[in-house]
């Protein structure tokens, strides 16, 4: 089990090439995604950004949106992780810290497409890119 962040999920839905395939492998390896409750909104925000930049057609985004709505998740509320998110404030956004705190609490890796997050100091969990050895 790993915590998969929204960037990896969006890559799994619409990514092409090696990074898309690695993201799909990560998502397929999880029968249920363990995620913060903001996961759906972040995923849709990622799709929106790709459409606005012209990197994704509206038709593909709408199809991906259905997958966001249907993916099997176990969503965790923010409040139990608020203190840890606050502790990470110097190095991470609150949203990234929520993912980190969840991965720490579950005792697992956080898988992200965000290179800045993989290099951040402060997390007490492994933060890795898709396809990195578990």
CATH number of the domain encompassing residue 77: 3.40.50.1010
- The tens digit of pLDDT for each residue in 106-133 reads 999 999 999 999 999 999 999 999 988 6
**Is 1's pLDDT higher than 90?**
no
The contacts of residue 55 (CB under 8 Å, 6+ apart) are none
Domain presence at residue 28 = yes
Domain presence at residue 134 = no
**Is 134's pLDDT higher than 70?**
no
Q: Which ranges of the chain would DSSP assign to H, the alpha helix?
A: 6-14, 17-28, 39-52, 58-70, 82-87, 94-106, 115-118
End-to-end CA distance of the chain: 10
Domain presence at residue 97 = yes
Domain presence at residue 79 = yes
Domain presence at residue 133 = no
Tokens 């990234």 belong to residue: 96
Q: Over range 22-51, report the average pLDDT.
A: 95
pLDDT score recorded for residue 81: 98
pLDDT score recorded for residue 16: 87
- Output DSSP code: residue 80: G
118 contacts 128 by C-beta, under 8 angstroms: yes
Q: Please state the domain count of the chain.
A: 1
Domain presence at residue 69 = yes
The contacts of residue 92 (CB under 8 Å, 6+ apart) are 85, 100, 117, 120, 122, 123
Domain presence at residue 25 = yes
Domain with 99 in it: 2-128
Distances in Å between the alpha carbon of 31 and those of 4, 71, 89? 12, 10, 31
């Amino acid at each position: 089990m790993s915590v998969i962040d929204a960037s990896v999920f969006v890559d799994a839905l619409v990514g092409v090439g090696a990074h898309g395939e690695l993201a799909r492998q990560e998502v397929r390896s999880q029968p249920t995604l363990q995620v913060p409750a903001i996961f759906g909104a972040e995923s849709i925000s990622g799709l929106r950004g790709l459409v606005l930049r012209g990197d994704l057609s509206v038709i593909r985004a709408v199809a991906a949106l259905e997958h966001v709505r249907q993916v099997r998740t176990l969503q965790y509320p923010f409040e139990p992780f608020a203190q840890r998110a606050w502790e990470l404030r110097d190095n991470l956004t609150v949203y990234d810290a929520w993912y980190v705190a969840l991965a720490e609490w579950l005792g697992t890796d956080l898988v992200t497409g965000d290179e800045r997050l993989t290099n951040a100091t402060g997390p007490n969990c492994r933060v890795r890119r898709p396809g990195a050895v578990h």
